[in-house]
Amino acid sequence: MFAGVLMLVNGVLGVLAGIAGIAEDDVYARLGDYVYKFNLTTWGWIHLVLGLLIAVTGWGILKGAEWARGAGVALAALGMVAQFLWLPYTPLWALVSLALGAFVIWALCTAPGKNPAAV
């Protein structure tokens, strides 16, 4: 449940960040020069799509869907990479999101469930 709630909230916040990046290019300001720079509209679309996928997967985890656990680990890892690349735009929030992603992965990997090796 912990991972599902975190993913749902983080996904919705990612969607909102994506909408802000798409709607106005002056909402975010980059700090210094950065190797992984994209147009802010591109970053907005990345966050919007990734946020939607994370939120849907979080909902799936809360509903107990079989596919959601593995997808949750993969999307949380992908979200962490995206937040690392997003660091120059929102440094504090990117660090918070990186920590949330780590908690999600930890919760999904340590939660009791079916053990495929025991079957």
First to last CA, the chain: 24
Cα–Cα distance, 69 to 11 (Å, whole number): 15
Cα–Cα distance, 100 to 75 (Å, whole number): 12
Residue 95 belongs to domain spanning:
2-27+37-110
Establish if 62 belongs to a structural domain.
yes
The residue with tokens 């994370």 is 54
What is the widest separation between alpha-carbon atoms in the chain? 54
The pLDDT tens digits of the residues spanning 60-111 come to: 999 988 899 999 999 999 999 999 988 888 888 889 999 999 999 999 998 8
**Cβ atoms within 10 Å, residue 25:** 12
Cα–Cα distance, 3 to 76 (Å, whole number): 10
Overall number of domains in the chain: 1
pLDDT over 80 at 25, yes or no: no
Do 86 and 44 meet the contact criterion of CB atoms below 8 Å apart?
no
Establish if 118 belongs to a structural domain.
no
63's enclosing H/E stretch is helix 40-63
**Cβ atoms within 10 Å, residue 101:** 25
The pLDDT tens digits of the residues spanning 49-68 come to: 999 999 999 999 999 888 99
Quick one: tokens of 57?
A: 């997967």
- Predicted TM-score of the model (pTM): 0.83
